[in-house]
Structure formats: C-alpha cells, structure tokens
Amino acid sequence: MRRESGVAAITAILIVAVAASAAAVMLAQQSAMLDQSMLVAGRAQADLYAQAGLDWARGVLLEDARNTRSDTLKEPWAQPIAGLPVERAVVAGDIADEQGKFNLNNLVDATRRSESDMRAFGRLLASVGLSPELADAVLDWVDPDTDLSGNGGAEDPYYLALPRPYRAPNGPMTQVEELYRIRGFDSAAVAKLKPYVTALPTRTLLNVNTASDLVLAAVLDVPRDKAAELVALRDKEPFANVQDFGERARKAGLTNVPGTLSAASDFFSVRVQVAQDDVQLAIEALVQRQSQPRVGTFVVWRRSRY
C-alpha cells in the first residue's frame, strides 16, 4: 500500500508539474501575442500620425503658394518642427526645396544630351572631389539611347557583366539612391554628392533663393566665393524673381546669367519622424505643387522607414 501511495503521489506531482509548465507556456505565448498586437497597433497609429504630418506639410505648401510668388528659406515652410507632442507620440519633420539642388534628369533635354547641364554637373562633381567623367555614366543611365557617352559612360554590356547583372533603365531617375547602381559610384561618392543633387520627374529650373553656394557656383560657372557673395545677398533680402536676381548679380560682378534659373519652386521633399512608445517610424515623400489649372499638391512618391 505504501509503495502504491508513493507512486500515486509522484504521479500527481508530475501531473501538476506538466500542467504548470503548460500553463506557463500558454501564458508566455499569450503575452507574446499581446506584445505583438500592441506593436502592430502602435505602428499603425504611428503611420497615421506620419500621414497626418505629410498632409500638414502639403497644407503649408498650399498656403505658401496662395500668399507668395517666390520660395525662400525665410518662409514658414522652411522652418522645421523639432518635436510636437501628440497624445502618446512625438512628431517631428521638415520640408526641403528640391529645386535648390541639381536635377540629375536635366542632363537630358527632351531626348538629347544637354551640354550646358553636363558641364555644370561636371563642375559640381569636381567641387565635391569626384571625377567629372562620372557625369557620362549618369547621362547613359538616364538618356534613351544605348550609345556610350564617353570614357566614363556605361550601358547594358557593362552592367550585365557584373556579378549581379542588371540593365541600365535608359530613362529618368526616380530617386537619387539609383546612383548606387551607376558605374563609378560607391557609398563614399554618393555621400559626397547626395546633398547637392535630386531626381525630379520633369526638367526643372534652379531656385536661386534656396540653392547652396556650391550648386550656384557649378550652374553659374563662377568661383565658389562669388557664389557665396550671392548667398549673402539673398540672406539679407531674398530675390523677388529672376529679374531681381539678375540685376543684383550683375552689380556683384556676375556677367552671365543663364535662363535656367527661378525664384520659386514646384517640388519639395517632406520628412516626418514619429516616436510612439517603442515604435520609431519615419517617412519621406516627394511633393509636387502646381498652380495650373488651380493650386494643388500631390505626392509623387512616398516611402516608410521603421
């Protein structure tokens, strides 16, 4: 009897242990599922806040278009939001003028090579410490033909011979990050050039109110210190229009003012960052503002980064 009682007791203890272990596993699984559900809900909420931030930026750009005919760095749209508390989240963001940069798609005018833009891009490359021959590779990437543009050019035969082959798109760039796929551009080269270039879906003018002295120097074909003088002039009083820029630039000693300039912009990049509980989310978007047939904005592309 004692032996049978001992076996029964041990069996009961084992059953209790197994039941406790199963209960612990179930509780752990339930806790993990709850955590995952909370994380998914948090990401969804953060994405809604990010979309609201993008909509706010579009509204700011619309209001600016109704009030002014030029775009300058002193206007409300150019002032970043460092951190705005919204319920359990903190939202930050900024708007940047993409037409203050060199548009890589300008290298092609209609279907032909734009000589003036190629020279300007070559000067820009040299000013950041890169070979001007890289302009040939970028041109071959965006132009519609399959002919090599120069010693630094590259078409399908080059890209198809790579360990991971691909083809040249022979069409406009969508995003600047395509530079990583172009012959001669590594991460260091892209890092040097990226702050000064953009990829816009149409041929665009350079906004003299927002362009850096380095970009102005490349486009105007003047020394950087002369471009810095123009930047100093606009810091005191932004250019009202291209005519105003031309008059003040000539007084500063600039004799050649190209017809590829503007004092207003149509394309802006928007960045929004959201921090909510354990969720960190950021979105980037390219927004186009149009004035005809009526003032409006639309998102050219949008991407999220968790």
CATH number of 250's domain: 3.30.1300.30
pLDDT at 37: 53
What is the rounded distance in angstroms from the CA atom of residue 23 to the CA atom of residue 26? 5
pLDDT at 278: 80
Q: Are 254 and 83 in contact (CB under 8 A)?
A: no
* Residue 209: partners with Cβ closer than 8 Å, 6 or more residues away: 70, 71, 72, 73, 100, 234, 238, 239, 263
Give the Cβ contact number of residue 38 at 10 Å. Answer: 13
31 falls within a domain: yes
236 falls within a domain: yes
In the chain, the largest separation of any two C-alpha atoms, in whole Å, equals 115
- Say if residue 269's pLDDT is above 70: yes
170 falls within a domain: no
39 falls within a domain: yes
Q: What is the DSSP letter of 144?
A: S
Return the structure tokens found at 30.
């339930």
pLDDT at 137: 98
The residue behind tokens 């021959």 is 133
pLDDT band at residue 305 using 50, 70 and 90 as cut-offs: confident
What is the rounded distance in angstroms from the CA atom of residue 264 to the CA atom of residue 75? 12
172 falls within a domain: no
64 falls within a domain: yes
- pLDDT tens per residue, range 4-29: 566 666 766 667 666 666 666 666 56
- pLDDT tens per residue, range 123-139: 999 999 999 999 999 99
- pLDDT tens per residue, range 151-205: 899 999 999 999 999 999 999 999 999 999 999 999 999 999 999 999 999 999 9
Instruction: Report the number of distinct structural domains present in the chain.
Output: 1
The residue behind tokens 């002369």 is 226
267 falls within a domain: yes
Q: Are strands 206-207 and 261-262 parallel, antiparallel or unpaired?
A: parallel
pLDDT band at residue 93 using 50, 70 and 90 as cut-offs: very high
81 falls within a domain: yes
Higher-scoring residue by pLDDT: 62, 37: 62
3-state SS assignment for residue 39: helix
pLDDT at 214: 98
pLDDT at 7: 62
pLDDT at 84: 80
pTM of the complete model beyond 0.75: yes
pLDDT at 12: 64
How much of the chain is in helix, strand and coil states, percent to nearest 5?
50, 20, 30
Q: What is the DSSP letter of 299?
A: E
pLDDT at 22: 61
- pLDDT tens per residue, range 202-252: 999 999 999 999 999 999 999 999 999 999 999 999 999 999 999 999 998
- Domain span at 204: 1-109+184-306
On the question of a cis peptide bond just before residue 293, with omega within 30 degrees of 0, the verdict is: yes
pLDDT at 2: 55
pLDDT at 180: 98
